Structure formats: structure tokens, C-alpha cells
Copies of this chain bind each other. A is one copy, B any other.
Amino acid sequence: MRIFYHPITFEQSMHCVLPEDESKHICKVLRMQNGESIALVNGKGTEAIAMIIENHPKKCLIEIQSVKEFNKENFHIHIALAPTKNMDRTEWLVEKMTELGVHEISFILTSQSERKNIKLERLEKIAVSAMKQSKRYFLPTLNPLISLRDFFELHSPCGIAHCSELTKKQNISKLTKEQIKNLPIIIGPEGDFTSEEINMMQKNENLFLHLGNTRLRTETAALYACAILKSKLEE
């Protein structure tokens, strides 16, 4: 059954109007008829089965027939990175991390960041599409760009994966489940962190990490970290 997205709280027997893009997809692209069934997710852990009442191409009316709740995992994968100069690479990364099951993605501004802005709305659409495609029930939280310093005020301690030889690093693959289950991972930007940034991050109980023997692009590093966390934390 096709899966559609509507970010509301579903209730049995409730009638509601779907967002315009989903209405258009149902009526114009798939040409679905009144009485046909669809699956709906809200990105907050609920799936509903619904029937099309009025296949209006802008305001498709549906009736919720059944509702199923899914439990959140007992771990939280949070990856923070500076958006790449070439935005395609960040968009690709958001899709791939969503498929792998990331819970939260933060974007940070670093001294070497060339890109100073992102279109969060566009990234959210990519995440919604990847969530539906990979049959996930939770939409990852995408946080707006903030400075590295502000990120540390909100989230600490963190795992920090970077390239330079200024710190003593552990291999991310050797960390225990207990160490990583709620540890945000920050990925070094294109051009790496400056020595001032490294000094600033040496406070608190941050862990400096490496990602194995090859030098990875920032988006590959983020995806690799996400893959290792998923592999270790899923039952």
C-alpha cells in the first residue's frame, strides 16, 4: 500500500484533508478513486490506514480507519556537521542518513565553513521522502545552522570525528554501546577544524574519534559514523 505523509495526530474515524502535494500525488499522479485505501505516517511514530472520501487534487479528504503506534528506539543517533560547499552532497547525506535511521541532524558553522546558509525546508522534504521510502515511522529532527560554540552549549559531551593530528583519537568502531547510545557525533568540516576550535572542544568530556584508515569527505564521514552507530545500537 502506498505511504503518504501528514504531520498531525491521527485518531480513529477522524476525517481530514491531506496537504496539497500529497493530494495532488494521490489524485493526479496515481489517479486513485474514492473508496480506495492508503497508508499514512505522521513522522511521530504513528501509522494510519485511511480511506479516500473525496479525491480532490488539492484537498483530498480521507477518513482514518485504524491507527497503529510504534515505539521509539531506546537510543538516539545525532550527527552534526557543517553543510558542504556543494549542497547536493548535503542533500544526498540527509536522504541516506534518514534511510539508515538517524534521529537528529544538526548543522553547524565552523571557521572553515564556506557555506553560511541552508534551506531547511528543502532538506525536510528530502527527509520526508526518504522516511516514506524506507518505511520509517519517525522523521528525523533537522536543526537550523548554529555556531560550533552554541552547539556545545546545547550538547555536551560529544564525539568529535576529525582528521588533524592535534588530538589523541579513538576508533569510533571500538566504542561501546553504552558510550554511544546518546552521544552526538560532530564531523569535521571540509578543511577540518582550526586549532582554536580543537582547543575549545578539548574542554568537557568530549571524545575525539577517527573513522578508520582512509581519509573521508565530510559527508562520507557523517554517513559512515551513522552506519556504525546504527549497526552497534540496533538489536
Contacts and interface: CB of A to CB of B under 8 A. Distances in A.
A171 B234 CA distance: 10
A224 B223 CA distance: 9
Contacts of A101: 212-214
A135 interface: yes
A231 interface: yes
Contacts of A162: none
Interface stretch (A55-63, A92-100, A115-123): A92-100
A135 B216 CA distance: 9
A92 B173 CA distance: 24
Nearest to A228: B231
A173 B216 contact: no
B173 A232 contact: yes
A234 B217 contact: no
Contacts of A228: 227-228, 231
Given A99-B220, A135-B214, A227-B228, 4 more contacts: A96-B223, A99-B217, A101-B212, A173-B234
